[in-house]
Chains A and B, each alone.
Chain A
Amino acid sequence: MTDTLSSPLPDTAAARRKRVPGQPSERVLARRRRIWTYLAMSALALFFIFPLVFLFVSSLKPSGQIMSDSGSGRAFLPVGDISLDNYVDVFDRVPVGQFLLNSAFVTVGIVLFGLLVNSLAGFALSRLEWKGRGLVLTLIIATLIVPFETIAVPMVYWVSKLPNLFFENGILVYDFGWLNTYKVQIIPFIANAFSIFLFTQYFSTIPKSLDEAARVDGAGWFTIYRRVIVPLSGPAFATVAILTFLPAWNQYLWPLMVVQREQLRPVMVGMQYFFQLSPAWGEVMAYAAMITIPVLLVFLSFQRAFISSIAASGVKG
């Protein structure tokens, strides 16, 4: 670290401009400031990273050792009795594989259907002229202020009354209640006002002359959507995918209420198995690590896109 600090970085314009003899030069001041900045940034980095280091390191230790290491710096070091035993034990205790599959299925469902449905709506709202579209757009934006938590309770009541249609012995039959299904975890979250808003914004920056040219060539509106707009809107699709992926994977309150059957539970609710039993902390840490690693990997591989997506969500707000 100190090596990079002492190596002379290029002067700033200001440093070159002012150099009063006898006083510490601008250059020295700038370097001092840089050192303090690095110190502050490193201290903050430790603050943000230490719990996660503790999590991953502890997941490799037996529960007893986690406790005894808590008193010293050993808590952050993979020392002592290191093994993957906790991970193996977690698989014995809870159906982790099933939970991970459920979460993956639900997340992919929400993201993919969401991209399709919301981009179609964004297309209709940004490029087609129809009565009431201004009003619809205003209403959609207005819904953004309403947190999901305010409608969660009535929503449970509502989905518990919704009909299911299915075939039994070749005849169409129905019953009521969406509780304990995959669809109750996916369908309510497909349409997303914020995604529609982002698509609408992005699509309206694409010149309309492209549509007109395509129409002269005889293309229908759906063809224009598919062949002209979608290929030009990669960044918008990436942003929406990222912004819907995280909350979908992290869902907790909703599945807690609507999914009691173990086979259908997502990973976050699966964490509850460890609240009830007298916790074997090594296993808790291993489970927590397992459900965090997929997201961390996705984030670290696409960190630039992630961060610019979040930034995009703020600029227009």
Chain B
Amino acid sequence: MAGRRRLRNRQGAVGLAMASPALILLLLFFVVPVLLGFALAFTNARLVSPNPPRFVGLDNFIRAFTADPVFFDSLRNTAVFAIVVVPVQSGLALLLAVLVNQRLKGSTLFRVVYFIPVVTSIVVVSILWKFMYRDDGLINSMIDTVTFGAWNGTDWLNNQSTALPAIIVLSIWQAVGFHMVIWLSGLQTIPEELYEAARVDGASPWRQFTQVTWPGLRPTMIFILITITIDALRLFVQIDVMTQGGPINATSTLVYHAVRKGFREQEVGYGAALSLIFFVMVLAIAALQRWLTRNKD
């Protein structure tokens, strides 16, 4: 008895010792910044300032919701981006996964090709597409060729109504391969016998998909929806590289605005408040999706 307890105590000490490097680092570089973010959101802290931060109550939040039109633009753009990207990207990813999941010669090659944009840095992707989106760029000349000159083209990123859609296209292009792989791993958990049985019953490929594949993909779907939504809300690099939020704030996003205020304009307190609003949104959406997709059986 006593020996066993001593053994457990020793395990306690050893366990804590082995976990402690990671736990200390998480404490320092996750927990502290989270708490600090909460605290700073209620102050007028600046990045470099001779004066210590002063408590200002809800001023930062009042400012965001009443006196900062760019915040609303950013909120709207982020929402539009997410509302388009989440269904389109998850749907396209599923289509790709179904295509490459067939036992056909060369499907591994196609899988690799679809995945290549994922390993290409989003910074590189953004600068490349920025170049292609120019007035005299590749996209316009391709459209011109396809439509036999019927299309005059536009300066995609400098046009208020096309800038955000243009960024949506390249964002999906870059990330969809990632979610294809996740769907693929979901597809491969569905036992082959189910398809065999469906084929014996004479089910068409479409019916096989709706009756066998889709029900089997439910856990994967929940994961994909949550990760794509959160990734969509994080939109920053494309904006920073391609448009700096322009033209006239047509592509400013929550994270972009928080970084602009909290870092570039050094208003850490206000930036922290914006980050906190963003944080609450992420939590709310994750909770909402969990609830909407909860098991109803």
Contacts and interface: CB of A to CB of B under 8 A. Distances in A.
Interface stretch (B25-33, B65-73, B81-89, B157-165): B25-33
Contact of A225 (B18, B28, B220, B234): B18
Contact of A153 (B131, B263, B283): B263
Contacts of B249: none
A130 B275 contact: no
Contacts of B106: 4, 38
B113 A130 contact: no
B168 interface: no
Contacts of B114: 44-45, 48
Contact of A48 (B173, B182, B263): B173
Interface string B166-184: 0000000100011001101
Contact of A121 (B14, B18, B37, B185): B18
Contacts of A112: none
A212 to B, nearest CB: 11
Nearest to B40: A154
Interface string A292-310: 1001100110010011001
B78 to A, nearest CB: 11
A300 B108 CA distance: 12
A227 to B, nearest CB: 15
A237 B149 CA distance: 54
Nearest to B9: A130
Contacts of A268: 121, 123
Interface in B262-277: 262-263, 268, 271-272, 274-276
Interface string B29-72: 11011101100100001010000000000000000000000000
A147 B141 contact: no
B230 interface: yes
A311 B18 contact: no
Interface stretch (A68-76, A81-89, A166-174): A68-76
Contacts of B117: 48, 51-52
Given A9-B105, A222-B14, A252-B123, 5 more contacts: A124-B17, A133-B19, A193-B26, A311-B184, A313-B182
Interface of B: 8, 11-12, 14-19, 21-26, 28-30, 32-34, 36-37, 40, 45, 47, 96, 99-100, 102, 104-107, 110-125, 127-129, 131-132, 136-138, 141, 173, 177-178, 181-182, 184-186, 189, 196, 199-200, 205, 220, 223-224, 226-227, 230, 233-234, 236-237, 240-241, 255, 258-259, 262-263, 268, 271-272, 274-276, 278-279, 282-283, 286
